[in-house]
Structure 1
Amino acid sequence: MQVVGFTTQQEVSIATKERPFKINEILIIEDEYQNDQLAEVYETMSYNKHIPLNVNEGFIDSNMVDILNSIGYKVGEETIHIAKARLLVEADYPISTGACVRKPRFEEVKNIFLKCKKEDGLLLGEIKSTEDMEDTLEDELKDLFCIYDKSGIRKQKGVPFIFDIKKMQQYPHIGIFGGSGSGKSFGIRVMLEEIMKLNIPTIVLDPHFEMDFSNQCPDIEDKYRDDFSNKFNIYQIGIDVGVKFDTLDKNELKKLLSVSGALTDSMSNVVDTIYKNKDTYITFSTRLEELKEGQALGSVEKIDKKISEASDRYERDKYIKIKETYSKYEKTCPPASVSGIIWRLNRLNNEGIFAKDIIPVEECLKEGKLAVIQGDMRLIQVFSTYLLNRMYLKRREYKDAKSRKQKEGEFFPPFIIATDEAHNFAPKGYDSPSKSIIKEIAQEGRKYGVFLVLATQRPTLLDETITAQLNTKFVFRTVRASDIGTIKEETDISAEEGKRLPYLRSGDSFISSAILGRTIPVRIRMAKTTSPHTENPFEELQTFISQNKDKIYEAIKDKLPIREMQMNDIIVWLEKNGIKMNAGQLKKELDKLVHDKKIVRKETMFGSSYENIS
């Protein structure tokens, strides 16, 4: 391999007859006038006698042809492989034309690929185009994981990509961007597996109910597996965790109520006026109901009439309380706004939000585990607002007390917050209940050891202030021009890499990070666990149909032969065994079994008879 054509201090062209070049491979240029230079291939092409050299004008010109002929290449007679490469560090002088180029040994490039020891970082995958270094790779860095490639499952060959998570203290927060089917969710799973191995406390907001790490991947060898069963807990909102009402302040309560839609100024005023510190759900909702009933009656006189007509002491005390509440709040709280707050409050209560608390999540974090919060998107938005505020406050109070050298309270660990569909939690252009706390953590969390891992299919829809704080970005296949534009603005991805984004294979990612100082292409390793939703829906449907047929056959096979006049007796017998159907449905099921050749139908003088195949 040799440098050919015009060169600069930043870029060179390289030619060889030996083999094609790989995009993103690293090469060493041996320049006699300066030290060896590292260069990365960003564009490549091969020419042979059937392809005129001028078909790609600009890549090779007449000067290049003359140079190739002068250094021994038979232009037009043999295949020539040419690459454009960019130096990783600008040279002092333009590179010498004719300089020899060779593949590096691992120790020569170790410092640009590995930023920490494998036991201290996240082992996420294989750096692309580094397979040629397999022979010189250190033993401890070989055969660490499996890769799913176009040829199927294979063991690691190239240099492992190990993300130095400790450097997040200087360069906080991670963004994971990619369209549907790009491998984004797969990448999140791999990252969370690695976080669990390091016992880093993490809150995962899981609106898709897929972050369960109980199921081992059946396709990988035992030596690559890890047991995560004791490293995570799953909490469903309203069942396992919730909000302790009497710990809420007015602002937190208003954020919870606003999840069904933005509160009007009038509704906000109702909460400010009626809510009292340390209110329970019962005391607050009772006060609202009393005011609503008083407003329905419409005047103090009508309430007094109800008091005088009360049939017992309980009813009389009830209307006395209604009168007191009505007289106090009627002028400042419009009936429509009171009804709106009651409806929103009841909705949250019916979903179980106020039935539990967040103590299990807090204990989970203190144990260094992953706390997976599950619920539909709306519920998670409600709950995460409260949960993240509380957990962040606990960590901040601990760190502030420590920095002021005050008496420290109970230790509360640093932690990570990870979520998919991040643009729903922190959207650009409008507010959501959880946006303010995520924005605060994005800007201030580094000081307190609280970090974000935000994944989204639509980076354009994510709040720009938050996007700007994501110092590391994993970019999977992205097709939308607006999203590609956002990614180019927020990363150091080159123009050539940007053009490749719509065509990346699922599981391939460009990793742009201030920690690395450059963009690195990585093939994400196979996950060691599987999502509960990995079953193909069409196979699921086929399995259901097959099981249903078997269920009917197993139920009626001992009753064969079945004649039409016996249908009602068979229906009664099936119902006793948990299978409900009418005569028409039973006949259809029997005909399906005939079609599947499990039984036969014979016509007799008394009608059809369904019998075993003889």
Structure 2
Amino acid sequence: MQVVGFTTQQEVNIAGKDRPFKINEILIVQDEYQGDQLVEVYDTKSYNKYIPLSVNEGFIDSNMTEILNNIGYKVGEETIHIAKARLLVEADYPIQTGSKVRKPKFEEVKDIFVKCKKEQGLVLGEIRSTEDILNSLDDDLKDLFCIYDKANIRKQTGIPFIFDIRKMQQYPHIGIFGGSGSGKSFGIRVILEEIMKLNVPTVVFDPHFEMDFSNPCIELDAKYRDDFAGKFNVYRVGVDVGINFEELDKNQLKKLLAISSSLTDSMINVVDTLHQNKDTYDTFIQRLKDLSEGHAIGSLDKIDKKIIEAQDQIQRQTYERIRNIYSKYEKTCPAASVNGIIWRLNRLYHEGIFGKDITFIEDGLRKGKLVVIQGDMRLIKVFSTYVLNKLYLKRREYKDCKSKHIESEFFPPFIIVTDEAHNFAPKGQDAPSKGIIKEIAQEGRKYGVFLILATQRPNLLDETVTAQLNTKFVFRTVRGQDISIIKEETDITSEESKRLPYLKSGDSFVSSAIMGRTIPIRIRMAKTTSPHTENPFEEFEQFIQKSKNYIYENIKESFPIREMQIPDIVLLLEKKDIKISAKNLIDELERLVEDGKISKEEGIFGVTYNKID
């Protein structure tokens, strides 16, 4: 391999005939005057006698054919491989044409690709196009994981990609972008597995109910597995964790009530007027109901009449309480707004959101665990607003006290992870959680609070938040708007952006200030499996098979079964608590015939079904 054609201080053309070049592979140009120069291939083509060089005008300069002939290539007779390559560090002068080009050894590129020890970072996969360096790789970096590639499992064949999580202190926050089926969720799982190995406190919002790490991947050999028991906890919003109503101030309460739709000015006034410090859910809702009842009665005179006509002391005290609050707020708190707040509060209450607190979450973070919070998207959005404010405030107060040399209770640094991040911090729209996420994106680094935000639609994520994501994992993306945002917010080249719609599932570009350049990687196999990995078509097939077997086992002693006996068989099954109609039973028998489990004979008295011995 050698440099051919015109060169610059930034780019060179390389020709060879031993093998094709790989996109993103690293080579060393041996420049006689400037020493060895590292280059990365970003475009490549191969020519043979059936494809003249003139076909691709612009890929190589007009004098390339003559140059190649002069240095010993038989243009038109043999296959020639040509690559465009970019220098990793700009040279002082244009590269000398004719310079030899060779493959690097690991020691020559180690500083580029490996930024920390594997014990201190996240081992996420292998760097693509580094297979030729495997033999010279340090022993402690070999055979660390398996890769799922081309429908098969293979061992590591390249340099491991190790993300230096400690550098997030300088370059905070991670974005994970990719469309459906791109491997984005798979990548999140691998990142979280690595975070658990390092015992980094992390809170994960899981609206898809898939971030459970209990099930090991049985396809992996035992040496590649890890047991994550004791390193994570899963909690359901409204079941295990919730909001302590007494801790809410007016602003927090208004954010929670606005989760379904924005509050009107009148509703905001109702909360500001009626909510009192340290209110419980019961005391606040009772105050609202009393005022609503006053509006329903209609006037002070009518309430006074109700007091006079009260049948007992309890009823009299109730109407006196209603009169007291109605006389104060009848004009400032309209009935429609009061009832609107009651309806929203009742909905949250019946979903269990006010029945618990976040003690489990705080304890898990203090123990260095991964805390997974599950719930449907609406509940997660409600709860995340509250819990992020609480946790971030605890960490910030601890750090502020420490800087002032004031003794306070320790609260650990932590990472916040969520999928569907554009729902929590949408661009051009208000969302209750948007404010706290923007604050953490801009200020969290100072307090040791970091974000990992994943989304299929980076174009819909708030621009301020996107700009603060110093590391971005970009999986297959097909929408033009999303690709444009990715190009604006990363150092991905135009050639790499053109490849985004065609990336294989699990392939990703990592654009990171920590690495200093964009790195193409393939995510390793996860050590655990999602609860939702079962193919839905296989699931349905298994259900049908189980149904057929179930019916067969309960009627096998009744064969042969004649068509006229079907009602009797239905009654027999009912005695076994199996509800089935005569028509459905015939359908099941026909399926068993198709499977070859029973036979079917047509006779003068109708159909007869029988077992096959």
Under a length normalisation based on structure 1, what TM-score does the superposition of the two structures give? 0.98
1:351 and 2:344 correspond: no
> Aligned-pair distance for 1:58?
1.1
Which residue number corresponds to residue 120 of structure 1? 120
Which residue number corresponds to residue 77 of structure 2? 77
* In structure 1, C-alpha distance between the alignment counterparts of 2:520 and 2:602, rounded to whole Å: 70
Which residue number corresponds to residue 181 of structure 1? 181
Task: Write out aligned runs for 1:182-581 (5 A).
Answer: 182-407=182-407, 409-563=408-562, 566-581=565-580
* In structure 2, C-alpha distance between the alignment counterparts of 1:607 and 1:293, rounded to whole Å: 71
| Structure 1 counterpart of 2:319, one-letter code | Y
* In structure 2, C-alpha distance between the alignment counterparts of 1:612 and 1:526, rounded to whole Å: 47
Kept after mapping to 1: 8 A contact 2:554/2:573:
yes
Distance 1:495 1:357, change over 3 A: same
Deviations 1:280-327 (A, max 9, x none): 010001111111111001101111111222222222221111111111
Secondary structure of the residue aligned to 2:153 is strand
* In structure 2, C-alpha distance between the alignment counterparts of 1:131 and 1:588, rounded to whole Å: 56
> Aligned-pair distance for 1:264?
0.7
Distance 1:595 1:14, change over 3 A: closer
Kept after mapping to 1: 8 A contact 2:6/2:61:
no
* In structure 1, C-alpha distance between the alignment counterparts of 2:400 and 2:201, rounded to whole Å: 20
Secondary structure of the residue aligned to 2:327 is helix
The answer to which of 564-573 and 192-201 deviates more is 564-573
* In structure 1, C-alpha distance between the alignment counterparts of 2:316 and 2:557, rounded to whole Å: 69
**Identical aligned residues as a percent:** 73
Distance 1:306 1:182, change over 3 A: same
* In structure 2, C-alpha distance between the alignment counterparts of 1:330 and 1:601, rounded to whole Å: 79
Which residue number corresponds to residue 156 of structure 2? 156
> Aligned-pair distance for 1:563?
4.5
* In structure 2, C-alpha distance between the alignment counterparts of 1:213 and 1:543, rounded to whole Å: 25
The answer to which of 256-265 and 569-578 deviates more is 569-578
Kept after mapping to 2: 8 A contact 1:47/1:81:
yes
Task: Write out aligned runs for 1:39-188 (5 A).
Answer: 39-150=39-150, 152-188=152-188
| Structure 2 counterpart of 1:490, one-letter code | E
Which residue number corresponds to residue 11 of structure 1? 11
The answer to which of 221-230 and 54-63 deviates more is 54-63
* In structure 2, C-alpha distance between the alignment counterparts of 1:260 and 1:314, rounded to whole Å: 37
> Aligned-pair distance for 1:420?
0.7
* In structure 2, C-alpha distance between the alignment counterparts of 1:474 and 1:605, rounded to whole Å: 71
Deviations 1:317-372 (A, max 9, x none): 21111111111211110111111100000000010001111100111111111111
Deviations 1:567-594 (A, max 9, x none): 4443343234231123333333333333
1:34 and 2:46 correspond: no
| Structure 2 counterpart of 1:382, one-letter code | V
| Structure 2 counterpart of 1:165, one-letter code | I
Deviations 1:232-277 (A, max 9, x none): 1110111011001111111111111111111111101100001010
The answer to which of 496-505 and 579-588 deviates more is 579-588
Distance 1:594 1:48, change over 3 A: closer
Secondary structure of the residue aligned to 1:119 is coil
Secondary structure of the residue aligned to 1:259 is coil
* In structure 2, C-alpha distance between the alignment counterparts of 1:607 and 1:478, rounded to whole Å: 60
Deviations 1:146-165 (A, max 9, x none): 01112611100110000000
Secondary structure of the residue aligned to 2:258 is helix
| Structure 2 counterpart of 1:355, one-letter code | G
The answer to which of 176-185 and 571-580 deviates more is 571-580
| Structure 2 counterpart of 1:515, one-letter code | I
Distance 1:566 1:318, change over 3 A: farther
> Aligned-pair distance for 1:566?
4.7
Which residue number corresponds to residue 610 of structure 2? 611
* In structure 2, C-alpha distance between the alignment counterparts of 1:344 and 1:489, rounded to whole Å: 41
Kept after mapping to 2: 8 A contact 1:202/1:417:
yes
* In structure 1, C-alpha distance between the alignment counterparts of 2:592 and 2:103, rounded to whole Å: 66
Distance 1:106 1:284, change over 3 A: same
| Structure 1 counterpart of 2:452, one-letter code | V
Deviations 1:491-524 (A, max 9, x none): 0001111111111111110100011110010011
RMSD: 1.4
Deviations 1:526-573 (A, max 9, x none): 111111111111000100000011111111112334445554443343
| Structure 1 counterpart of 2:497, one-letter code | G
> Aligned-pair distance for 1:473?
0.4
* In structure 2, C-alpha distance between the alignment counterparts of 1:270 and 1:491, rounded to whole Å: 46
The answer to which of 282-291 and 302-311 deviates more is 302-311
Kept after mapping to 2: 8 A contact 1:415/1:451:
yes
Secondary structure of the residue aligned to 1:8 is coil
Matched length:
613
| Structure 1 counterpart of 2:282, one-letter code | I
1:589 and 2:588 correspond: yes
* In structure 1, C-alpha distance between the alignment counterparts of 2:485 and 2:172, rounded to whole Å: 19
The answer to which of 431-440 and 591-600 deviates more is 591-600
The answer to which of 433-442 and 58-67 deviates more is 58-67
Segments of structure 2 that go 5 or more residues without pairing to the other structure are: none
Kept after mapping to 1: 8 A contact 2:385/2:433:
yes
| Structure 2 counterpart of 1:227, one-letter code | D
Distance 1:326 1:20, change over 3 A: same
Kept after mapping to 2: 8 A contact 1:237/1:373:
yes
Deviations 1:103-148 (A, max 9, x none): 0000011000011000000000100110001110010000000011
* In structure 1, C-alpha distance between the alignment counterparts of 2:593 and 2:77, rounded to whole Å: 69
Secondary structure of the residue aligned to 1:586 is helix
* In structure 1, C-alpha distance between the alignment counterparts of 2:582 and 2:70, rounded to whole Å: 91
Deviations 1:365-392 (A, max 9, x none): 1111111111110000000000111011
Distance 1:595 1:58, change over 3 A: closer
Kept after mapping to 2: 8 A contact 1:54/1:61:
no
* In structure 1, C-alpha distance between the alignment counterparts of 2:400 and 2:612, rounded to whole Å: 81
> Aligned-pair distance for 1:598?
2.5
Secondary structure of the residue aligned to 1:120 is coil
Segments of structure 1 that go 5 or more residues without pairing to the other structure are: none
The answer to which of 601-610 and 263-272 deviates more is 601-610
Secondary structure of the residue aligned to 2:526 is coil
Distance 1:49 1:571, change over 3 A: same
* In structure 2, C-alpha distance between the alignment counterparts of 1:193 and 1:555, rounded to whole Å: 46
